[in-house]
Structures are given as structure tokens and as C-alpha cells.
Amino acid sequence: MSAKLETTFRGDTGQLERRISMREKLTAAYFERERERIFRRAWLPIGHASHLPEPGSYFVRELPVLKTSLLVVRGQDGKVRAFHNACTHRGNKLVRSGAGCRKSFSCGFHGWTFSSEGELKLVTDEHQFRDLDKGALGLRPIHTQVWEDLVFVNGADAPGESLREWLGEMFDEYGGYFEQHERVASLRINVNSNWNLAVNSFTEGYHTLYLHRNSVPDYQGGKINPDRHRPFMQLFKRHHRYSAPANPDHRLTPAEALVIKYGKRIIPAFGGEMPALPPGVNPSRYEHWAFDVVQLYPNAVFLFGNNWHIELFFGPIDVDHTEVVQDLYYYRPKNAGERLSHQFFLSRGRQVFLEDMNTLEAQHAVLSSGILSHLQLSQQEMSLMHHYKVSREMLDE
């Protein structure tokens, strides 16, 4: 008889459905309800405050689900703000794309100019306008709050909850975690798949034994946990997290042995020194811990490891299309050996990510055809049950 690791569940597991009806979820009408009832009321992470190092630093972030483009800027007062990236004269896009640092933002159409705090500073040929109230024509702001290093926006006229309320218990559990890492790569893929399916692919470990059998065959589970049951899962009001199990019997391949001689472990993530992690990371302090998976509902999934983390954003474009962005953050390298080691793990990470993306289009095609009316979920897929429960609540509230 093989050993079975029993998952420890924490949180409210009531009201979960094990069979999820997908019929109406892949319709344009349902997507419009998701847009208004979920995405317009949620706090959505859109980037990092540390990517805006000085006054005037900015980046542009497209947010098709809210039908907008955002200009995120650090003002001369040091505060991070986000605005709709739209000139208030006739609605031209103020900054096309990208990132940089500017004292002011001039529109390419007729030259109206805005400060980094969003005020309308200059109207060209101003005396030709009658009754222009420049004070009321600043860039249109969107509610913005920063947690740890993450910038969140909320598209509601008046958000029903503060970001602290929205994040709940997790708010105080990740102090300083993001400061340890820097972004080393960013992958962007548009898939012909609904955003829910894309999120779901990254919030269960059941698939890892099969989908990732060639790329990372024995990096989880092992003899002590052959089915790779998650040791710990926790459901919050909206978000959830679980820990992934390491395989203590994993044998390093020669290439792995070489790169961890010169750098730190990323995939597999375990077996190295374990620094003091904030209480939210490996929250159950599981002995054979590999990394955590955290879904910030609705559409962000973070993998939190020791020495690294990954951020995944699933940007709905419409009911059938999603832009998936994967940003990889590793420990800051101190020498050439650590940089080289980073590259090895980046190429392995890319392969695993592509495998995860690989099922989405086929799955979407089948589920939108109506051949299968429901998803059948295991206890190891409880994160998916919870995701659809939260959606139900937000759509009905």
C-alpha cells in the first residue's frame, strides 16, 4: 500500500460545488456580467511600485476587461497614482505604451500637457477656448492603493471595500517578501481561451504528475506522497492558497547540480537553506515544502518560493480570449555564476509554463461546444470549487 498524504484544509469549505456547470459561463452575456459585477468591483494588481523608482516614473498598463488603458505614475510628491490613459481634450491616448520617466505628459494630438500628478498644466492656443475649466480637466483617476510592493486599482465609482478589507487576513502576512526579488523575465501569450479556464490551470497540483512528466518529472511528491496531495490548502473569503509538496527523494540531474553549485535552487525549489520567511509563505510550516500557490481573486495567481516568486495575470479580452502574462522574479544575483544559474531555471520555467498553456485552447473549444456540460472536481481541485463559489457570490450580491 502506498502512503497517502492527507491534505489539511483551513477556512470555510461549505457551499462548494464539486460539479461546475460551464454552459452559461462561456457566453458573451455571462462575460459582461463578470465584467460589471466582478472586475469592476475587485481590487486588481497591475504592477509594482518599485518599477516606478523616481518622481515622474511611469508605465502603461492595458486593462481591456475594464475597457481602459492605465497610466501609472509616481508624482513629484512620491505618491503612486493611476489614471485613465486618455487626454481630456478629445480622448486621444496620452502615452502609447511602455515605461519611462517624464516631468510631464504631452498629448500628441494638440499638445495639451499634464503633470505627473495628473493636473492639466498647459492648453495650447488657450485663448481660442471659451469657458474652459482647466481645474476640472485633469486626467481621470482610478482608485489606487499599494500593498507591500504591489499596485492595485479598483474600477468602481466608490469601492465597497478598502484594499486591506479585500485582502483580509493575508494583508499582514507577507511583510517585506517582494523586496528580496527582482524581475528577471516576462512572458506574454494571447490564448483562445476563457480567463476562468486559464486561471484554473494554475491553481491545482493534480496535473503536475501528468502534464509536466517530461519537463520536471520528480520535483514534487515522491515516495512519501506519490499522488502529490497538497499538504495544506486555505480558503479565504475570496482568495485562496495552498502549499506544494517537495519530493525529498529527488535526485539532482548533473545540470541541476552544476547550477545550484553556482546559484540557489529555483525548480526544484527545495533542499537549500531556508531563510526566515514571512508567516504567509509556507503558512503551515510544512517540512517538505516546495512553494505556495496563491490566487488573488479574480485573475492573479502568484507562486511564492524561497529565493523566487512568479506572478501570473490572466487579462480577459473577451469571453473567448485571454492575455496571459507571466513575470518571474528571482533573488538578486551577486555574480556571473548566479546569473548563469538564473538562465538555466528560466529556460526550465518557460517550458513548464508552455505546457500549462497547452491544454487551454482545446479545453475551451470542447467546453464552449456544449459536449461536456460540467467540470468534475476532486478535493485536490478545491481551489477551482472556491473560485466558482466566489464568482457566484459576486455575481449575485
Residue ranges that bind ligand FES, judged by CB under 6 A: 87, 89-90, 92, 107, 109-112
Q: Which does 356 bind (CB under 5 to 8 A by kind): Fe ion, ligand FES, none?
A: Fe ion
Residue 107: name its binding partner from Fe ion, ligand FES, none (Cβ under 5 to 8 Å by kind): ligand FES
The amino acid at 137: L
204 lies in the site for Fe ion, by CB under 5 A: no
* Residue 213, SS3 per DSSP: coil
Cβ closer to ligand FES: 5 or 132?
132
Smallest separation (angstroms) from ligand FES to the CB of 81: 19
Tell me the closest approach of the beta carbon of residue 214 to Fe ion, in angstroms: 13
CA–CA gap between residue 261 and residue 182 (Å, rounded): 21
CA distance 134 to 363: 52
292 touches which of Fe ion, ligand FES, none (CB within 5 to 8 A by kind)? none
Binding-site size, Fe ion (CB under 5 A): 1
Task: Kindly tell me which of 311 and 356 has the beta carbon lying closer to Fe ion.
Answer: 356
User: Helix 336-358 vs helix 254-262: angle between axes, to the nearest 10 degrees?
Assistant: 130
CA distance 263 to 255: 12
To the nearest whole angstrom, how small is the minimum distance from the Cβ of residue 190 to Fe ion?
A: 19
Q: How big is the chain, counted in residues?
A: 397
User: From CA 101, how far away is CA 52, in angstroms rounded?
Assistant: 8
Specify the stretch interacting with Fe ion by CB under 5 A; choose among 218-226, 299-307, 352-360, 365-373: 352-360
Q: What are phi and psi for residue 395, nearest 5 degrees?
A: -70, -30
Question: Which amino acid, 277?
Answer: L
107/300 with CB nearer ligand FES: 107
Assigned C-alpha cell, 280: 504567509
Q: Which helix (H) or strand (E) holds 141?
A: strand 141-147
| Look-up of cell digits 519530493 | 247
Residue 129 site contact among ligand FES, Fe ion, none (CB < 5 to 8 Å, cut-off depends on kind)? none
Cis peptide bond upstream of 298, omega within 30: yes
Query: Minimum distance between the CB of residue 124 and ligand FES, rounded to whole angstroms?
Result: 7
The identity of residue 104, as a single letter, is: S
Q: Which stretch binds Fe ion (CB under 5 A): 33-41, 301-309, 319-327, 356-364?
A: 356-364
Give the nearer residue to ligand FES in terms of CB position, either 8 or 92: 92
CB 76 within 8 A of CB 87: no
Nearer to ligand FES, 92 or 359 (CB): 92
d(CA 69, CA 95): 9
Q: Binder to Fe ion among 356, 367, 386, 388 (CB under 5 A)?
A: 356
Q: Cα–Cα distances in Å, from 119 out to 122, 141, 356?
A: 9, 10, 44
Q: How far apart are the C-alpha atoms of 391 and 38, rounded to whole Å?
A: 7
- Residue 109 interface partner, choices ligand FES, Fe ion, none, CB cut-off 5-8 Å depending on type: ligand FES
**Cβ-closest position to Fe ion:** 356
Q: Is 256 in the site for Fe ion (CB under 5 A)?
A: no
CB of 207 to Fe ion, least distance (A): 6
Residue 327 near Fe ion by CB under 5 A: no
Q: Which of 129/362 has CB closer to ligand FES?
A: 129
**Which secondary-structure segment (H or E) carries 143?**
strand 141-147
CB of 113 to ligand FES, least distance (A): 9
Tell which residue, 67, 35, 45, 44, has the closest CA to residue 394: 35
CB of 138: closest distance to ligand FES in angstroms?
13
- In a 3-state reduction of DSSP, which class is residue 155? coil
Rule CB under 5 A: say whether 381 interacts with Fe ion. no
Q: In this complex, which beta carbon is closest to ligand FES, that of residue 104 or of residue 373?
A: 104
| Identity of the residue, 110 or 183, whose beta carbon is nearer to ligand FES in the bound complex | 110
Question: Which residues contact Fe ion by CB under 5 A?
Answer: 356
